[in-house]
Amino acid sequence: MNLQESLETVRFIAKSTVTEEALVVDEQGIWPEQSIRALQKAGLGGLVVATEMGGLGQGLTGLAQACEILGEVSGSTALCFGMHCVGSAVIGAKATAQQQQDLLKPIAAGEHLTTLALSEPGTGAHFYYPQTQLLALSEAEYLVNGNKSFVTNGGKADSYVLSTLGVDPEASQEAFSCMVLRGDTLELAWGPEWKGLGMRGNSSKTLFLKDVKVPAQNLLGEVGDQLWYIFQVVAPYFLTAMSGTYLGIAQAAFNEARKHLMERSYRHNGTTLSQNTLLQHRLGLLWSKIERTRQLLYHATREGEKNTAAAVLPILASKAEVGHCCVEVVNEAMTLMGGIAYSQHSRLDVLLRDARAAHVMSPTTDILYTWLGRALLEQPILDN
Applying CB under 6 A, the residues found at the interface with ligand FAD are 83, 115-119, 124-125, 127, 150-152, 196, 199, 202, 204, 357, 360-362, 364, 366-367, 370
Q: Contact at 8 Å (CB) between 114 and 95?
A: no
C-alpha of 226 from chain center: 20
Our CB check for ligand FAD shows the closer of 136 and 360 to be 360
Is there a contact between 112 and 137 (Cβ–Cβ < 8 Å)?
A: no
Report the residue number, 12 or 369, with the smaller CB distance to ligand FAD.
369
C-alpha span between 344 and 350 (Å, rounded): 9
Q: Which is nearer to ligand FAD, 53 or 83 (CB)?
A: 83
Q: Which is nearer to ligand FAD, 133 or 370 (CB)?
A: 370
Residue 170: how many CA atoms within 13 Å on its side-chain side? 0
Minimum CB–partner distance for residue 80 and ligand FAD (Å):
9
Q: For residues 69 and 239, which CB has a smaller minimum distance to ligand FAD in the complex?
A: 239
**Which position's Cβ is nearest ligand FAD?**
124
Report, in Å, the least distance between residue 268 CB and ligand FAD: 44
Q: Report CA-CA distances (Å) from 70 to 9, 243, 374.
A: 11, 12, 33
| In the complex, least distance from residue 22 CB atom to ligand FAD, rounded to whole angstroms | 16
Min separation Cβ 230 and ligand FAD, Å: 12
In 10 A of CB 70, how many CB atoms? 30
Longest dimension (CA), the chain: 81
Q: How far apart are CA 229 and CA 379, in angstroms?
A: 20
Please, what is the minimum distance in Å from the beta carbon of residue 377 to ligand FAD?
Answer: 15
Residue placing its CB nearer to ligand FAD in the complex, 338 or 373: 373
Q: In what order do the strands lie in the sheet with 159-164?
A: 114-117, 159-164, 177-182, 219-220
Cβ atoms of 105 and 54 within 8 Å: the answer is: yes
For residue 53, the minimal CB distance to ligand FAD (Å) is 23
